[in-house]
Chain A
Amino acid sequence: MEGPADILPSTLKKSVVDAKLLLVGAGGIGCEVLKNLVLSGFKNIEVIDLDTIDVSNLNRQFLFQRQHVGKSKAKVACEAALGFNPSVTLKAHHDSVMSQEYGVNFFKGFTLVLNALDNRAARNHVNRMCLAAQVPLVESGTAGYLGQVTVIKRGVTECYECQPKPAQKTFPGCTIRNTPSEPIHCIVWAKHLFNQLFGEADPDEDVSPDTADPELTGDAAGSAALSEPAREDGNVERVSTRGWAAQNDYEPRKLFRKLFNDDIRYLLTMDKLWQKRRPPTPLDWDTLPDAVAGSSSSSASDSSLSDQRLWPPAECAAVLERAVGRLKEQLAARPAGDHLVWDKDDENGMDFVAACANLRAHCFGIRLNTRFTIKSMAGNIIPAIATTNAIIAAMVVFEAFKLLEGRLDDCKTVYLNRQPNARKRLLVPCVLEKPNPKCYVCAEKPEVTVRLDVSQMKLQALEERVLKAALNMVAPDAELLDGRGTILISSEEGETAANAPRTLAELGVRDGARLRCDDFLQNYELIVNIVNSTELPDGQEFEVVGDASQLQPAAPAPAPADGEAGPSSADAGGSAAANGSGNGAGKATTTVDDDDDLVCLSEGEDGTGTDGEVPTATTTVGTPAAKRPAQSDQGTPPAKKRRALSGSESPEVIEL
């Protein structure tokens, strides 16, 4: 019987026709992969995606049209693909791949798993499931003009978590609350303000002046406090921002005066902050400029799109007034105790953040940005186009072919460049790395060390922020290895609920304690070593260290190559690199395989955010540069050559 697979070499044809594939994600890469699979002769494919279709998807997710907006991506993609070849068996799951339903046995039912995801948490999870099920995984990602594909096979290659991924960039609270110097600080502040007023209030997202700023000595804090009657706890803030706003009926001008005048005046009393910095200027509603200083008819301003025009401060105030009114109504329409969730695509929420960020910037003499640009930064938007996704999706299928043909040795990590490198390559294939023997996910007996303060951290925080958020477990159990089999956390509902609010110290966890943690679904067991520490860098709550030897002060990381685009905050995610010229990231090391003349440049990732990625607690897991040499058994080339290959000639890596 003739079919698309007929054009394949005989060594490949049968395994393609017989293969059962799981495609995780039906978005930009997923649509293209599905099309390739169906047209290449695959007969049995399951597709899973929790998302629904949005207008902004339509410039590249070509299986969807306008009439599909709001519907399940997995379902519509399968329907469309069926039209390319009605004899294929396609099954859609409108579901999260992280749900308990999809256990190891589910994954074991597939010949290969292909990821087409856009966030780290899901990638970590699928990585673990495929390791547990021993099913090869093809991983991929794109951002703008760049993309990459790689293959993960347990015991043979690195897993997704073998190399520490850089932590999401966060900013110290005092920078956000007291001394912003860049637009991103103002944007993060504005998002926090939204949550304080309308969303889920988080004590870590205070927007009022921070009297605990480490730059202030006792004297300065004291003198500032004297200008306000003190409360019992020494804190000058009397009521929560939300409480204050509600008391004042969310009146926009009152809000404006408090945030952009009163609070700014308060900051000015903290003299130490302004000895070397430009002090902020309190704003007055009636005297706001209605033109933007220094702006001329630049390319952005010849657009009639309001999004792309710089709003002068007076206009920001007007937008703020309108947005606050509407958000207040939205909140009032909710059941009591409920709150709003900020969404970049919610017009009022976006207007609010843009207006507030710009007003704050105006206070501090920081340049203003258009709503369009602010949306990118606040909303963590990764620009995306059809062509990059089409190319990377195709390379995913070519790796799948190699696996099915039994050519594991030929599998590669492939990078898509924007311009050919020095060796004329637009697609740069790199030899796959061997597993990290100390990987805390795929090593024989994974272990990790966590530094925290046992007298401060509550068990609930350990479960939520360490085990789940930082270590990517979904439903963990944790046993204290104290010789008595003490169960600290049970994934069964209610069994250990009484322990949750107690500190670790109260539960008998001391410096040097070992916890055996495991996630039944991921078939993943991890020993967590606790190191008690009362002084963590940057005021972090905890620090995950991959290898105990990393507790020694790390060697300073190599200087970034020219053109490194720094990452932005956890909240505002997004990456400068993703907006415009994709620049290569920092540290570059090379492995030269002389046999097939293949040069692979593995670069330190520059921490690009991904659409919808959940900010995680700050983690530092040693320095990637320190780990690399342990892996390369090829011998590193002389430093001189290494430098010559970095910078513009290296494949630009986007973070998977």
Chain B
Amino acid sequence: MKTQLGSMVTFESGDITEEEAALYDRQIRLWGLDAQKRLRSARVLLIHMGGLGAEVAKNLILAGVKSLTMLDPNPVTSSEASCQFFVPAGQIGANRAEVSVERAQRLNPMVSVTAEKTPSTELTEEQVARYDVLVATGCPDSELTRLNALCRRRGVLFLAGDVYGFYGFMFADLGRHEFAEEVPVLARPGGEPAQKRPRTEQPESRTVKRTLQFTPLEDALGVDWNAEDRRKTLRRTSDVYFIMRVLQAFRAEEGRRPLATSADTDAARLLALRDSLKGLPTDKVGDAFTSRCLGELSPACAVVGGVLAQEVIKAVSQKDKPLSNFFLFDGYNSEGVVETIAA
């Protein structure tokens, strides 16, 4: 039974090759050879190839994971023209995952890029277990919690995210996650003379092993914000979290995201949902969001996709402290915060 990434992944026994060293030079100089090797062993399942999916795929393929499987039963629509750079023009109606493979693969021939057309709802525990990481985008909460549970049972790292217009979120459940962190060593008074400790070199730091326990999405969604002890933290919790709740509720009900083609009716529906959602604190969500949450805005996909992919890289390499457990983004107001939301 797998409990953590380190024990379950079979490392590619070979060293980084000269070819890889040349290609990955600028990132090896940042996170080191060891992290690059671990990346090279990572098998990623990415659900839905919308704008956010494309950004995550691009970043992970460039980083040099072992394999990236794009799972998407949906066809290309005109929405993809505004966010999905893997889809060539004139492919409306074709399967989103399949048409994305060619351009995605070209980003890095060393990564195995494949497409699956199965709906995520049909994924079984056995299938999920074949991966090290599962990234779920564009799914309603019910599907996210289902996938999260499957991942938990098999020690698969679970990350989720979505983008609605200017807004976006990322969530992570890495289970019981062990990682190494660089901690600067503070100079002791009367320390070593300048000669021995060169000033222009990196300040000394030591590597410390840490463990962080994550909680499943279900926990976070179960929080009662109206409870007395929550009200105190409510004021300091980002509004964007609650805007996301409304948008996810819309997705669950309508089976899609709010769209430009139905902007007015969608806006009305969103406001109605906001006012009726159980457990949603009033006055955390104004009206303005309804005109800023249409489609998937490309730069919003880029921010959320960048943060999410970097979390995958950190988690797989077990290097550096992960964000725990939500990243919330509002591109209209340049807000990007991390919230820890758990029962």
Interfacial residues, chain A to chain B (CB-CB below 8 A) = 2-10, 32, 35-36, 39-41, 55-56, 58-60, 62, 65-66, 83-86, 144-145, 169, 181-184, 277, 299-300, 302-305, 307-308, 372, 376, 381-388, 390-391, 393-395, 397-399, 401, 410, 412, 414, 418-420, 423-427, 429, 562-568, 576-577, 579-581, 583
Task: Establish whether residues A385 and B338, one from each chain, have CB atoms under 8 Å apart when the complex forms.
Answer: no
Report the separation of the CA atoms of residues A426 and B168 in the bound assembly, to the nearest whole angstrom.
14
B106 cross-chain contacts in A, Cβ below 8 A: 65
B260 cross-chain contacts in A, Cβ below 8 A: 6-7
Closest to B202 in A: A576
A566 cross-chain contacts in B, Cβ below 8 A: 199-201
Task: Establish whether residues A39 and B335, one from each chain, have CB atoms under 8 Å apart when the complex forms.
Answer: no
Report the separation of the CA atoms of residues A429 and B26 in the bound assembly, to the nearest whole angstrom.
28
Task: Establish whether residues A391 and B303, one from each chain, have CB atoms under 8 Å apart when the complex forms.
Answer: yes
Task: Establish whether residues A86 and B89, one from each chain, have CB atoms under 8 Å apart when the complex forms.
Answer: yes
A568 cross-chain contacts in B, Cβ below 8 A: 200
Report the separation of the CA atoms of residues A607 and B94 in the bound assembly, to the nearest whole angstrom.
51
A397 cross-chain contacts in B, Cβ below 8 A: 298-299
A106 to chain B, nearest CB (A): 26
Q: Which of B202, B205, B296, B313 counts the most chain A CB atoms within 10 A? A: B202
Closest to B298 in A: A39
Kindly list the 4 A-B residue pairs having the minimum CB-CB distance in the complex, ordered from nearest.
Answer: A427-B336, A4-B82, A7-B295, A394-B299
Among the 9-residue stretches B15-23, B125-133, B219-227, the one with 4 or more Cβ atoms under 8 Å from chain A is B15-23
Contact of A182 among B59, B184, B201 (CB under 8 A): B201
Closest to B85 in A: A84
Contact of A390 among B187, B297, B306, B337 (CB under 8 A): B306
Report the separation of the CA atoms of residues A14 and B82 in the bound assembly, to the nearest whole angstrom.
16
A-B contact pairs, 10 of them (CB 8 A): A3-B81, A39-B82, A40-B297, A181-B195, A307-B21, A394-B303, A426-B336, A565-B203, A580-B202, A583-B203
Task: Establish whether residues B27 and A394, one from each chain, have CB atoms under 8 Å apart when the complex forms.
Answer: no
B46-101 contacts to A, CB under 8 A, are 51, 55, 58-59, 62-64, 78, 81-83, 85, 88-89
Q: Indicate whether B30 reaches chain A with its CB closer than 8 angstroms.
A: yes
Report the separation of the CA atoms of residues A420 and B339 in the bound assembly, to the nearest whole angstrom.
9
A399 cross-chain contacts in B, Cβ below 8 A: 334
Contact of B88 among A83, A381, A390 (CB under 8 A): A83
Q: Indicate whether B198 reaches chain A with its CB closer than 8 angstroms.
A: yes
B49 to chain A, nearest CB (A): 15
Indicate whether A426 sits within 8 Å of B323 (C-beta atoms), given known contacts A62-B58, A565-B202. Answer: yes
Q: Indicate whether B24 reaches chain A with its CB closer than 8 angstroms.
A: yes
Closest to A418 in B: B320
Task: Establish whether residues A388 and B184, one from each chain, have CB atoms under 8 Å apart when the complex forms.
Answer: no
A184 to chain B, nearest CB (A): 6
Apart from A579-B29, A581-B202, what are 14 other A-B pairs with CB-CB below 8 Å?
Answer: A6-B260, A35-B298, A36-B302, A65-B107, A181-B198, A277-B195, A387-B309, A388-B306, A562-B184, A562-B186, A562-B187, A565-B203, A566-B200, A576-B203
Report the separation of the CA atoms of residues A424 and B261 in the bound assembly, to the nearest whole angstrom.
36
Instruction: Count contacts on B: residues with CB < 8 A to the other chain.
Output: 80
Task: Establish whether residues B298 and A420, one from each chain, have CB atoms under 8 Å apart when the complex forms.
Answer: no
A412 cross-chain contacts in B, Cβ below 8 A: 334
A21 to chain B, nearest CB (A): 14
B87 to chain A, nearest CB (A): 9
Q: Which of B89, B201, B296, B306 counts the most chain A CB atoms within 10 A? A: B306
A81 to chain B, nearest CB (A): 8
Report the separation of the CA atoms of residues A577 and B195 in the bound assembly, to the nearest whole angstrom.
21
B159-210 contacts to A, CB under 8 A, are 165, 182, 184, 186-187, 195, 198-203, 205
Q: Indicate whether B246 reaches chain A with its CB closer than 8 angstroms.
A: no
Q: Indicate whether B158 reaches chain A with its CB closer than 8 angstroms.
A: no
Task: Establish whether residues A420 and B23, one from each chain, have CB atoms under 8 Å apart when the complex forms.
Answer: no
Report the separation of the CA atoms of residues A401 and B201 in the bound assembly, to the nearest whole angstrom.
41
Report the separation of the CA atoms of residues A418 and B336 in the bound assembly, to the nearest whole angstrom.
12
Task: Establish whether residues B335 and A429, one from each chain, have CB atoms under 8 Å apart when the complex forms.
Answer: yes
Task: Establish whether residues A383 and B26, one from each chain, have CB atoms under 8 Å apart when the complex forms.
Answer: yes
A429 cross-chain contacts in B, Cβ below 8 A: 333-335
B318 to chain A, nearest CB (A): 14
Task: Establish whether residues B16 and A580, one from each chain, have CB atoms under 8 Å apart when the complex forms.
Answer: no
Question: Contact string, B275-305, partner A, CB cutoff 8 A, digits 1/0?
Answer: 0000000000000000110111111101101
Closest to A182 in B: B198
A304 to chain B, nearest CB (A): 4
B332 cross-chain contacts in A, Cβ below 8 A: 398
Q: Indicate whether B249 reaches chain A with its CB closer than 8 angstroms.
A: no
Task: Establish whether residues B337 and A39, one from each chain, have CB atoms under 8 Å apart when the complex forms.
Answer: no
Indicate whether A427 sits within 8 Å of B22 (C-beta atoms), given known contacts A62-B62, A387-B307, A562-B186. Answer: no
Task: Establish whether residues A426 and B78, one from each chain, have CB atoms under 8 Å apart when the complex forms.
Answer: no
Q: Which of A39, A145, A307, A384 counts the most chain B CB atoms within 10 A? A: A39
Task: Establish whether residues A564 and B22, one from each chain, have CB atoms under 8 Å apart when the complex forms.
Answer: no
Contact of A385 among B27, B85, B88, B291 (CB under 8 A): B27
Contact of B321 among A5, A302, A419 (CB under 8 A): A419
Report the separation of the CA atoms of residues A562 and B203 in the bound assembly, to the nearest whole angstrom.
9
Task: Establish whether residues B338 and A424, one from each chain, have CB atoms under 8 Å apart when the complex forms.
Answer: yes
Task: Establish whether residues B203 and A563, one from each chain, have CB atoms under 8 Å apart when the complex forms.
Answer: yes
Q: Which of A387, A564, A576 counts the most chain B CB atoms within 10 A? A: A387
Report the separation of the CA atoms of residues A559 and B78 in the bound assembly, to the nearest whole angstrom.
57
Report the separation of the CA atoms of residues A145 and B307 in the bound assembly, to the nearest whole angstrom.
11
A7 to chain B, nearest CB (A): 4
A83 cross-chain contacts in B, Cβ below 8 A: 88-89
Q: Indicate whether B114 reaches chain A with its CB closer than 8 angstroms.
A: no
Q: Indicate whether B112 reaches chain A with its CB closer than 8 angstroms.
A: no
Contact of B33 among A182, A308, A386 (CB under 8 A): A308
Closest to B237 in A: A424
Contact of A393 among B15, B88, B302 (CB under 8 A): B302
Task: Establish whether residues A579 and B184, one from each chain, have CB atoms under 8 Å apart when the complex forms.
Answer: no
A148 to chain B, nearest CB (A): 12
Contact of B85 among A35, A418, A426, A564 (CB under 8 A): A35
Contact of A144 among B30, B64, B165, B300 (CB under 8 A): B30
Report the separation of the CA atoms of residues A353 and B62 in the bound assembly, to the nearest whole angstrom.
31
Task: Establish whether residues A36 and B299, one from each chain, have CB atoms under 8 Å apart when the complex forms.
Answer: yes
Indicate whether A386 sits within 8 Å of B202 (C-beta atoms), given known contacts A40-B297, A391-B303, A427-B336. Answer: no
Indicate whether A376 sits within 8 Å of B59 (C-beta atoms), given known contacts A182-B200, A303-B15, A303-B16. Answer: no
B114 to chain A, nearest CB (A): 19
Report the separation of the CA atoms of residues A41 and B295 in the bound assembly, to the nearest whole angstrom.
13
Contact of A395 among B24, B88, B303, B310 (CB under 8 A): B303
Indicate whether A564 sits within 8 Å of B203 (C-beta atoms), given known contacts A36-B299, A426-B307, A427-B335. Answer: yes
Indicate whether A394 sits within 8 Å of B339 (C-beta atoms), given known contacts A39-B82, A568-B200, A580-B182. Answer: no
B201 cross-chain contacts in A, Cβ below 8 A: 182-183, 566, 576
Task: Establish whether residues B294 and A7, one from each chain, have CB atoms under 8 Å apart when the complex forms.
Answer: yes
Closest to A398 in B: B331
Task: Establish whether residues A58 and B23, one from each chain, have CB atoms under 8 Å apart when the complex forms.
Answer: yes
Task: Establish whether residues B30 and A145, one from each chain, have CB atoms under 8 Å apart when the complex forms.
Answer: yes
Question: Contact string, B108-124, partner A, CB cutoff 8 A, digits 1/0?
Answer: 11000000000000000
Q: Indicate whether B253 reaches chain A with its CB closer than 8 angstroms.
A: no
Q: Indicate whether B327 reaches chain A with its CB closer than 8 angstroms.
A: yes
